[in-house]
Structure 1
Amino acid sequence: MVYLGIGSNIMPRENIRLSLKKLTNYIDIKNISPIFLTPPLGGMPQPDFYNCVVEGKLRFDISPISFKFDVLRKIEDELGRKRGLDKYAPREIDIDILIYENLILNSRECVIPSPEIFERDFVFAGLLYLNSELIVFPEQQPLISLAHRYSLHLLNIDCEYTRLIWKEFLYEHRTSSTINSRIVD
């Protein structure tokens, strides 16, 4: 199983939907977290980001480095992503590997599990929503036992857009109360 973080603040609704559509060529999407609206980092005035976490099963054998550079970067480029020196700049799409099967990797090109899991509330919340019993290195405890460290109740969820994404990419239907209760509890 792989877990990917997806974010956008330039035409975010369209770009997240298109990125998920393109990802279906490479992974079987098993689940998608709610779509979180998060303020940008770095102080530059710009729109909020739409962020989610996707759980999927790879359709073929591929190394995480190849998956990152040959698949995810290709999708980002196709959707107009421009890379510059400012890592907090607005972006059409950002797709990051959070977890890649049971792999632990610390190379110049890629760090897995991603440190963002424990650095950004919305990434942690997305993973928690998808699999609360998941144990992520280096913590060695289920995510649910670490939830008290985060201000999950302050996260803003776009319930309407989440429902649209779930309807298009998942086969089960969920309600707004399901969306909110899974995160706040």
Structure 2
Amino acid sequence: MARIYISLGTNISPEQHLKAGLVDLQQHFGQLQLSRVFESESVGFKGTNFLNMVVAADTDLSIAQVVATFKQIEQDNGRIRGEKKFSPRSLDIDLLLYDDVICDIPVQVPRGEILYNAFVLWPLAELAPNLCHPLTLQTYQMLWQTYDKQCQQLWPITFEFPAELLPVKY
């Protein structure tokens, strides 16, 4: 059984899509562990603010199967393939970590943006502060403590999680 960490982000009907994505993830992966929800300015383009969070789950699926599941959940929530890299998203789900695996195929794991996007690193550090990044060998708490927090604006928000997610580990 592998422990996976998942990034979720949305800026199109963000509360609706984030809630739907969480419910879908729970249906596929069972019990989830959740970070707080953060609001952040869009990165790479002018757009409305994003809601972001990180989720942990356990799975027997391979990396390729996990990624295929994420793509299906995104599609079910209105994600259109072929969009520009930096553009509004109904739901963006990315595999950040799959145990301590390091690979580039079928996707890059650990995901590179862990180290340079505050909207990924802060919730990951909150969820798994003592876990070490498999390449830097630093804990996520240490990586967050040394991160330049002036480069991206991000703040935790109050978010009403869907009732069907309970009980959930926070």
Q: In structure 2, do the counterparts of structure 1 residues 41 and 20 end up closer, same or farther at CA, with 3 Å as the change threshold?
A: same
Q: In structure 2, do the counterparts of structure 1 residues 101 and 172 end up closer, same or farther at CA, with 3 Å as the change threshold?
A: closer
Structure 1 counterpart of 2:4, one-letter code: V
Q: Deviations over 1:107-138 (max 9, x none)?
A: 2x300011111110121111111111000121
Other-structure match for 1:129: 126
1:146 positional shift: 2.4
Other-structure match for 1:112: 109
Matches within 5 A, 1:8-157: 8-43=10-45, 45-58=46-59, 61-69=60-68, 71-107=69-105, 109-150=106-147, 151=149, 155-157=154-156
How many Å separate the matches in 2 of 1:11 and 1:49?
10
Residue ranges of structure 1 left out of the alignment (5+ in a row): 175-185
Q: In structure 2, do the counterparts of structure 1 residues 10 and 25 end up closer, same or farther at CA, with 3 Å as the change threshold?
A: same
* Conservation of the 8 A alpha-carbon contact between 2:41 and 2:153: no
How many Å separate the matches in 2 of 1:122 and 1:42?
13
After superposition, the CA RMSD in angstroms is 2.2
Q: Which has the higher helix share?
A: 1
How many Å separate the matches in 2 of 1:27 and 1:173?
14
TM-score, normalising length: structure 1: 0.81
Aligned residue pairs total 166
Q: In structure 2, do the counterparts of structure 1 residues 142 and 173 end up closer, same or farther at CA, with 3 Å as the change threshold?
A: closer
Q: Deviations over 1:16-36 (max 9, x none)?
A: 100111111221233111111
